[in-house]
């Protein structure tokens, strides 16, 4: 999970709507009536370099869509319904849910009915990346160096968002295999591994390649050198 730095605000109409609802019913009805979600979504995706806030999937490349996610659910935190700092762009769209079986659904649409903010690792936390590691078989797991309480938070978040959905696991495994093949080819032919890492770590037209955190972990120190040189704000 890549930490998200918010540079946008959601636009004029979101700011007008920030007289906060006080009940879950008010939050639901007012959000449904809000007609400027596309503007907000575009600004969120700009902040997120085109990636899903939780899975780092590039939904566009998969023929999928996004929805605006309330990190703290509006049913439990109605006052934050129109708070841009509580919003993020998450795959999938409501139309995508019609083609996904329940076991494969992930992200905001997979959240449990009861949300525990003390356990949840948010993509708006500046240190959220330190909680997770990516395995070659496509799974996401807690990092080995975590203490018990942090490991509990990582496991809770992975389960809550179904980040080991078969759909995501399959795509992360394929991404890891592709990186591995390219890496071995570059070593064999004595090509620049730094240039290879930069291809998927440096944004193009404000768009990152999918699975940024997996790629960063795969390339290790090489990735950190590329990021320090080209993207110090990501360091």
The predicted structure's pLDDT at residue 221 = 97
Distances (CA, A) of 194 to 134, 207, 220, 234: 20, 19, 11, 17
- Asked if residues 42 and 68 have their Cβ atoms less than 8 Å apart, the reply is no
CA dihedral 77, 79, 84, 87 (to 10 degrees): 20
Which ranges of the chain have pLDDT less than 70? Answer: 18, 112-113
Q: What is the pLDDT of residues 171-228, one digit of tens each?
A: 999 999 999 999 999 999 999 999 999 999 999 999 999 999 999 999 999 999 999 9
- Phi and psi, residue 173, nearest 5°: -65, -45
Q: Where are the alpha helices (DSSP H) in the chain?
A: 12-16, 24-33, 37-47, 148-160, 166-188, 193-201, 212-219, 221-230
- Distances in whole angstroms, Cα of residue 86 to Cα of each of 70, 71, 97, 120, 122: 6, 5, 23, 13, 10
Dist CA 22 CA 129 (whole Å)? 33
Please give, one letter per residue, the 3-state secondary structure of 35-89.
CCHHHHHHHHHHHCCCCCCCCCCCHHHHCCCCEEEECCCCCCCHHHCCCHHHEEE
pLDDT for the residue numbered 112:
65
pTM given for the model: 0.94
- Supply the pLDDT for residue 113: 63
As a whole-number percent, the residues of the chain with pLDDT over 70 amount to 99
Q: In this predicted structure, what is the pLDDT of residue 114? A: 77
> What pLDDT is stored for residue 19 in this prediction?
83
Provide the residue ranges of all domains of the chain, joining segments of one domain with +. 12-234
Per-residue b/e over 58-84, b at no fewer than 16 CB within 10 Å? bbeeeebebbbbbbbbbbebbbbbbbb
Q: CB under 8 Å to 153, separation ≥6 — which residues?
A: 119, 120, 121, 131
Q: What are phi and psi of 169, to 5 degrees?
A: -60, -40
pLDDT of residue 235: 79
């Amino acid at each position: 999970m890549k930490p998200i730095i918010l540079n946008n605000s959601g636009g004029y109409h979101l700011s007008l709507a920030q007289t906060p609802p006080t009940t879950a019913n008010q939050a639901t009805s007012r959000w449904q009536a809000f007609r400027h979600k596309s503007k907000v979504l575009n600004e969120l995706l700009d902040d997120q370099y085109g990636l899903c806030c939780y899975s780092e999937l590039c939904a566009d490349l998969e023929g999928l869509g996004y929805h605006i996610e309330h990190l703290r659910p509006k049913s439990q935190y109605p006052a934050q319904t129109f708070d841009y700092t509580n919003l993020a762009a998450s795959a999938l769209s409501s139309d995508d849910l019609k083609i996904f079986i329940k076991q494969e659904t992930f992200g905001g649409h997979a959240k449990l009915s009861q949300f525990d903010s003390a356990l949840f690792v948010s993509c708006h936390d500046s240190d959220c990346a330190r909680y997770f590691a990516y395995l070659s078989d496509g799974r996401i797991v807690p990092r080995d160096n975590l203490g018990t309480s942090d490991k509990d938070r990582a496991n809770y978040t992975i389960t809550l968002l179904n980040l080991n959905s078969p759909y995501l696991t399959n795509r992360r495994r394929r991404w890891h295999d592709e990186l591995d093949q390219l890496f071995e080819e570059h070593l064999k032919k004595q090509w620049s591994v730094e240039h290879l890492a930069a291809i998927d770590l440096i944004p193009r037209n404000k768009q990152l390649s999918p699975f940024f955190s997996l790629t960063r972990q795969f390339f290790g120190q090489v990735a950190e050198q590329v990021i320090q040189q080209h993207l110090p704000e990501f360091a």
